Structure 1
């Protein structure tokens, strides 16, 4: 497995504060908001383009760092990444599927949540 890039950072916000997120990141910082995948539409997410190939994701939820806060790594061989992590004793697990974004999650040795993906195309198609 070879790491291609950091794909996104995901962080929580207090539920119901999407407008505060949009005012700061979209209005003040000028980031372009993008529509999350249809399979995640029910989650009230707010996503932005944060640079070439990099996204910033906000989700309503716990502000406990061990909750869903995570970063995502785009790798060249997702199956090999899963095998390496399983062999090393880390328990990768699947979550809600996203079109063109096969993925899984695991925790690092100090408890950080990491998403691994292998981007196959835009998730909007």
Structure 2
């Protein structure tokens, strides 16, 4: 059997109309992701794109937006506890889930209510 997948190019996270500044504050300023320019042919749709390492996060505007409460990206991080403190200081509540062997982790929600997981490999 052939393996077709080689990795993840990007994930898309939905957000309500007019929320680009909140996305920039959370994904850009708090998480430290670099905002990248959307292709010209997609700029009229709204939203914004970010990049960290080889992975892109696309914030897409959804007119009938509802936050993802179960489905979520899991971002690997360095300095998990420092990120936890940074998020809490910015007013983002942290939730714990059962541990996964070899990984420390916690969850929060972005400004739009989408579930986000952060993991640090032990």
* TM-score between the two structures when normalised by the length of structure 1: 0.47
Give the TM-score normalised by the residue count of structure 2. Answer: 0.48
Compare relative contact order (CA 8 Å, sep 6+) and give the higher one, 1 or 2: 1
